[in-house]
Amino acid sequence: MKSSEELKALVREKYSEIALQSREQNQSSCCGSGGCSTVDYSVFSDDYSRLQGYVPEADLGLGCGLPTEFAHIREGDTVVDLGSGAGNDCFVARSLTGPEGRVIGIDMTEAMITQARANAARLGFGNVEFRQGDIENMPVGGNQADVVVSNCVLNLVPDKKQAFSEIFRILKPGGHFSISDVVLEGALPEGLQEAAEMYAGCVSGAIQKSDYLEIIRKQGFAEVTVQKEKRIELPDDILEAYLPEDQLSAFRASGTGIYSMTVFARKPATAVCCGTGCC
């Protein structure tokens, strides 16, 4: 099993390559950057094109939901997007906050930050900024965000408890999040669990749905609600790259489900400052 730092280095390397590719190139593989050579990434992603504020050049086709659609963003809100990539969700959020709002994108990959900043500058969006940083230790002060969004990123974070603790810290009391992510029901075969490429492709980094929701609750969030869920079917020609035939058949018969889930939760309005670095 790779260490947390090794996993982060893997993700940083893969998504640095992805940042230099087109949406069409990324959609040709489930992991982006050639991780799975024949899967159409659309088995994960949803269609943003109908949403207000959509910027095609900022959409790398790497999400697994539409969290901004469910995030109840209002004019004047401060929104933080975790794993902001080339800026896709930030620009959709900006159309909802209006010019009086503020949008902050956080990404650990320098190439993504560079691309997102270039997109924002080209569009003239002065109230959208991008910060390079780690979701487990965000470069955002406590009690700053009205809304946090994220699209298919938390499954790539090794310490999910710390990530949700950080989300709790940066949200204002009464603030909320809407996060799309990949979760499991049932156990993945060992071959998928150990595949680094499938980690970067958001599958082997996923955890059990029940555990995911329990982590959220244990960080102090209320009103935990699944807003949308869809089952993801990975084609056999991809699974065959990681599983021998007998394990593939057993996996298909096991009932294990891979799901895209969009979940909402709120920081209680009575929440107090959480300690060092919170405020």
- The residue extents of the domains of the chain are 4-266
Per-residue three-class SS string for the chain: CCCHHHHHHHHHHHHHHHHCCCHHHHHCCCCCCCCCCCCCHHHCCCCCCCCCCCCHHHCCCCCCCCHHHHCCCCCCCEEEEECCCCCHHHHHHHHHHCCCCEEEEEECCHHHHHHHHHHHHHHCCCCEEEEECECCECCCCCCCEEEEEEECCHHHCCCHHHHHHHHHHHEEEEEEEEEEEEEEECCCCHHHHCCHHHHHCCCCCCEEHHHHHHHHHHCCCEEEEEEEEEEECCCHHHHCCCCCHHHHHHHHHHCCEEEEEEEEEECCCCCCCCCCCCC
pTM of the predicted model as reported, rounded to 2 decimal places? 0.86
pLDDT at 20: 64
Q: Which residues neighbour 220 within 8 Å (Cβ) at sequence distance 6 or greater?
A: 168, 267, 268, 271
Backbone angles phi, psi at 111, to 5 degrees: -65, -35
Residue 238, judged by CB atoms within 10 A of its CB (0-12, 13-18, 19+), counts as: buried
Spell out, as residue ranges, where the chain has pLDDT lower than 70: 1-2, 6-8, 10-11, 13-15, 17-44, 191, 193-204, 272-279
Q: pLDDT tens for residues 159-172?
A: 999 999 999 999 99
Tokens of 164: 């949700």
pLDDT at 197: 54
Q: pLDDT tens for residues 13-42?
A: 666 766 666 555 555 444 333 444 333 444
Taking the C-alpha atoms of residue 163 and residue 261, their distance in angstroms, rounded to an integer, is: 17
The CATH code of domain 4-266 reads: 3.40.50.150
